Amino acid sequence: MTTTTVELSEPRGATNTRRRRVVGLGVLALIVVLAGVASLAVGARALSPADVWHGLFAEPDTDRRLTEIRLIVRTVRVPRTVLAIVAGIALGVGGALIQGYTRNPIADTGLLGVNSGASFSVVAAIGLLGFTDPFQYVWFGFLGAAVAGVVVFGLSSVGRGAGNPLTLALAGQGVTVFLAAMTTAVALSDQKSLNALRFWNAGSVAGVGFDVIRPMTAFIAVGLVLASTTLPALNLLTLGEDVARGLGVNIALSRTVGILAITLLAGAATAACGSVAFLGLMVAHIARYLAGPDYRWLVPYAGLLGAAVLLVCDIVGRLVVRPGELAAGVVVALLGAPFFAVLVWRGKFRNA
């Protein structure tokens, strides 16, 4: 009597898809690394690869030129490069998550009111409390973003439309409009607050030190961990709440953890570098095109794309108006506005 052994294996198509996705992640990671190296070399003063290497690793030198290079690389370009990577990852992941939880293809992290909450808190801290040090008012920005996110989520969780993605969008829009009006009122009454608002609306990764980046990175790390725990449930939620509930998903818990993750990610990034519009919206759609609808792959793609796009936009901003520079958020908006218009046009075209 012979025993036949049946070897179970994945379909070839599934294996090829996984291999393609892994390769894609590797390519995106390489692009982020190359963009990071370019970010260290490009600026008002261009540096050669040898200069960058010296600035990163060389010991203090008596040569004045080499000392200046070390200061430029270590105190200016390394912090803004790290911030661009960290904030880009946070906004990219947050954008993918908010589109999944709201089932709204044109949703962005600003939908939860975190951008307007951070803006109002920073302006209030400067205008009403007199804080001028970024390390002081950035915490108010994070607190304001978190409170705005909690308020929006709370408003969308009560009443007849509780838990409905449309209710969440309407609550977010209402809180955003209210906080924008309050921010304008405070800023117009105080010149320092008005200057801070200008910076905030531009969205820049320059001028922020590691004293701010380190704690914000810790909050972003927590947000990423929370986000990773919700991805299987989010995949099921895209099939519909009834199907997800039937498959054992605790919808209320999943949505709560997801919104908390989005608030931490977007709030920390916005507190550190200001409002960067359209980034999450753009990279979430590009990630979906490259990785498919599975959020276990879509979210890592969106994070790496967010880092790459923000880095490249920051580099472009340093080059186009040299010796000055455009804020990275301005360059992102210049790309994002036509991208948003194309999304709307394609939606209308398909529905025609």
Q: Is it true that domain 24-338 has CATH number 3.40.50.970? A: no
Tokens matching residue 58: 């060389």
Q: Which three-class secondary structure state does DSSP give residue 35? A: helix
Tens digits of residue pLDDT in 47-68? 888 888 888 887 776 678 888 8
Beta strands in the chain (DSSP E): none
State how far Cα 21 lies from the chain centre: 21
Q: How far apart are CA 347 and CA 112, in angstroms?
A: 23
Tens digits of residue pLDDT in 25-49? 999 999 999 999 999 999 888 888 8
Identify whether the C-beta of residue 95 lies closer than 8 Å to the C-beta of residue 279.
Answer: yes
Axis-axis angle for helices 191-202, 328-351 (nearest 10): 50
Tens digits of residue pLDDT in 293-352? 999 999 999 999 999 999 999 999 999 887 788 899 999 988 887 887 777 776 644 444
Axis-axis angle for helices 78-102, 210-237 (nearest 10): 20
Tokens matching residue 125: 């801290």
Rg (alpha carbons) of the chain, rounded to whole number: 22
Q: How far apart are CA 276 and CA 317, in angstroms?
A: 14
Tens digits of residue pLDDT in 53-112? 888 887 776 678 888 888 889 999 999 999 999 999 999 999 999 888 888 787 788 777
Per DSSP, helices labelled H in 189-250 are 191-202, 210-237, 241-246
Nearest Cα to 267, choosing from 221, 313, 227, 220? 220
Nearest Cα to 133, choosing from 208, 237, 44? 208
Res. 114: pLDDT tops 90: no
Positive/negative CA dihedral, 180, 89, 138, 328 = negative
196-205 burial, b at 16+ Cβ within 10 Å, e below that, comes to bbebbbbbbb
State how far Cα 79 lies from the chain centre: 17
Tokens matching residue 28: 């995106």
Res. 280: pLDDT tops 60: yes
Residue 5's pLDDT band, with cuts at 50, 70 and 90, is very low
Q: How far apart are CA 55 and CA 72, in angstroms?
A: 8
The structural domains of the chain, with segments of one domain joined by +, span 24-338
Q: What is the pTM of this model?
A: 0.88
Tens digits of residue pLDDT in 122-179? 888 888 887 777 777 788 888 888 888 888 877 877 766 666 667 777 888 888 899 9
